[in-house]
Amino acid sequence: MSHDLFEAARGAMAFAHAPYSKFPVGAAIRAEDGKVYSGANIENLSFPQGWCAEPTAISAMIMGGARKIVEMAVIAEKLPLCPPCGGCRQKISEFASKDTKIYLCDEAGVKKTMTMEELLPFSFETELG
């Protein structure tokens, strides 16, 4: 099941706009509607005004009408098993549960699976879920 997320994240990474860092990242989400939504990092000369791959994928999910992340894959071209940054972890947690699986990938596929709770213990929680 996670292989299609890996493929979608790797495909999204090809669309990264990373002329400053030269650090392309791709992310893919399977939402509660069963659809896969993907995103890439998009940098801006006015750093830090760009955005990471994970919130780009979240935006695609929200605009597609879904609201819940069931599982997510992340891949970076230059860093195997690149976990989401701290800010992205909080953004993901807004739409995920503690048990949501996050797949960290390298160029060959999924290499490590973590839960949202493992990635962001003691995260801010809301009554919205």
Q: Burial-class residue 109 by CB neighbours within 10 Å (0-12, 13-18, 19+).
A: middle
Helix (H) or strand (E) run with residue 74 in it: strand 69-76
Looking at the DSSP bridge assignments, the partners of residue 38 are 28
Per the annotation, does 88 bind a ligand?
A: yes
CA–CA gap between residue 124 and residue 19 (Å, rounded): 33
Collapsed DSSP state (helix, strand, coil) of residue 97: coil
**127 annotated active-site:** no
Q: What tokens does 120 get?
A: 């962001």
Q: Among 54, 77, 118, 127, which one carries the catalytic annotation?
A: 54
Per the annotation, does 52 bind a ligand?
A: yes
Tell me which residues are annotated as active site: 54
Instruction: Give the residue ranges of the annotated binding site for Zn(2+).
Output: 52, 85, 88
